[in-house]
Amino acid sequence: MNNDLPAIEVKNLTVSYGPVPALLDVSLAIEPGQLVGIIGPNGSGKSTLIKSLLGFVKPDFGEVLLFGEDAEKAKGRVAYVPQRGSVDWDFPVTVREVALMGRYGKRPWWRDLSNEDREIADYALEQVRMADYRNRQIGQLSGGQQQRVFMARAIAQGGDVLLLDEPFAGVDAATEKAILDVLESTRETGRTLVVVHHDLATASEYFDSLVLLKQRLFAYGAPEQVLHPELLSEVYEGTLRIFANLHNRSTGGQD
């Protein structure tokens, strides 16, 4: 891996669904080892940006590079944790089997998983504190536990970049803290994490940097710069009391 290159580089990215642009001329670079949050109102292009980083959508214009390679060619270096609502939790699969799914892409289809693959999956479950549930069917878990199992799958995959789509949605405070601990410990291994996040009240505490989207890139940088009342009011089309509170908290009351 060339550490002189950004982990993620987006250049003039424009993506449309029919006549409506989901992303318009977005450019940014994320250095390796960062924990970055993507914020913005519903329909602002957050999920489209994630799909672009995964190589799932073809841009109208611009490009996405992962460590200097086209996103399509670098798919093996990216792991993805989807929203809980997009998963069939009734599917008859155990916690350990989900973690092992992260290893399938590392082996030819005709070759069985090795003992090393199983050890990696088991270690990933230990990292997210789900090893004791390895034989449990995923549908029997709480929402937060399910989220942590899919994080284990992503960790087992061994990607240099982890993309997570609203991992904190619908979980209680204790589970949110547990997920954050996993994100921070994963970042400490040198991986780059990009997280779609909806809660402005915690965004300044959780992330090294924030991306503020509404079709185009309104701001990217340190939380105290991005969570500015004027910017948020423009993007969210209204002034809410929380905007001023967020700014005062992140700047220590200094403008």
Across 222-238, average pLDDT:
89
d(CA 196, CA 163): 8
Ramachandran area for residue 111 (φ above 0: left; ψ -120 to 50: alpha; else beta): beta
Q: Which helix (H) or strand (E) holds 234?
A: helix 229-236
- pLDDT > 80? residue 152: yes
CATH of domain 32-53+77-251: 3.40.50.300
Which of 64-73, 117-126, 190-199 has the least mean pLDDT? 64-73
Check pLDDT > 90 for residue 109.
no
Q: How many CA atoms lie within 13 A of 188 on its CB side?
A: 7
pLDDT in tens, 35-86: 999 999 999 999 999 999 998 888 999 999 999 998 888 878 899 988 766 6
Secondary structure (3-state) at 83: coil
pLDDT at residue 87 greater than cutoff 80: no
Domain ranges of the chain: 32-53+77-251
The whole model's pTM is what? 0.86
99 closest CA partner among 147, 144, 141, 157 = 157
